[in-house]
Each structure stands twice: as structure tokens, then as C-alpha cells.
Structure 1
Amino acid sequence: MRGKTMEERVSIEQTFEQLDELIRQLESGELSLEESFSAYEKGLGLVKQCRESVDEVEKKVLVLDESGEQHEF
């Protein structure tokens, strides 16, 4: 299970890196209107992926209370 969490973390990090690159391209002003729209659509998909990945991780997070018992986050 820990290996899967590491894979998810890497996947989330890679997705954020892709988003950063898309933002840089969009902000550069060097893309055509069509390329900008395509990058925007791709970015929306990546944001959705990130949101789903974060939601999945949040479901797995457990919080320890003062007595040391685990409770879902």
C-alpha cells in the first residue's frame, strides 16, 4: 500500500509539473489562439485529475486522537 501512495504522489507531482508548463506556455503569449484553447482544455483535464487524486488521498488519511486511536480525516 505504501508503494501505491508513492506512485500516486509522483503522479500528482507530475501532473502539477504539466500544469505549470501549460501555464508558462499560455502566459508567454507565443501560442496561437487554437493552441491556447487546446492547452486550456488539457489544463482543465489535468486539474480534474489532480482533484480526483487529492480526493483519493484524503480518503486514506487517518488522524490519531489523543488516545492514539485512528479516525478517518
Structure 2
Amino acid sequence: MEERARTEEEEMTLEEAFVRLDGMVERLETRGIPLEESFQIYKEGMELLKKCNDKIDTVEKKMLQVNKSGEYSEF
């Protein structure tokens, strides 16, 4: 089942990931949440955030930049 969760996270759009992260933050802000559960949510959130950063880095590398001569080049 873990492999399925990983696949779902990899296929998740950035917008979906941000919504999920927002839900995690709300759960962490809930009073009375057990410490162990808060650590697990935090860990999952950090892993998801890393995947988001990786996706953003990939997109940035694919973006094209117009150079001085008017040609497109990747950066």
C-alpha cells in the first residue's frame, strides 16, 4: 500500500499537493492532537514538500529564456 501512496503523490499536481499540505497544517494546529500523530503528519508534510520542490525545480529547468539575440534557450 505504501507504493500506491508514493505513486499517488508523484502523480499529484502541485495545486493538489498544496491543498494536502494546507490540510496537514490545519491538523497540526488542532488542539489536543497526540504528539506522536503530529510527528507523523510533520514527517509526511516534509516529504511532500520535498517532492513539490523537486517538481518546481524540474519546471524551472525546462522554462525557456529569451537571450539578447531574441533566441530561446533553456536555463
Q: What amino acid sits opposite 1:69 in the alignment?
A: E
1:21 aligns with 2:23: yes
Aligned to 2:54: 52
> Gaps (5+ residues) in structure 1?
1-7
What displacement does 1:30 show?
A: 3.5
Q: How does 1:1-73 map to 2 (within 5 A)?
A: 11-65=13-67, 67-73=69-75
After TM superposition, where is structure 1 displaced by more than 4 Å over at least 4 residues in a row? none
CA distance in 1, matches of 2:32, 2:24: 12
**Runs of at least 5 residues in structure 2 that lack an aligned partner in the other structure:** 1-9
SS in structure 2 at match of 1:49: helix
Using the size of structure 1 for normalisation, the TM-score is 0.77
**What percentage of residue pairs aligned between the two structures are identical?**
43
The separation in 1 between residues aligned to 2:72 and 2:39, in whole angstroms, is 46
RMSD: 1.8
Q: State the aligned residue count.
A: 65
SS of residue paired to 2:73: strand
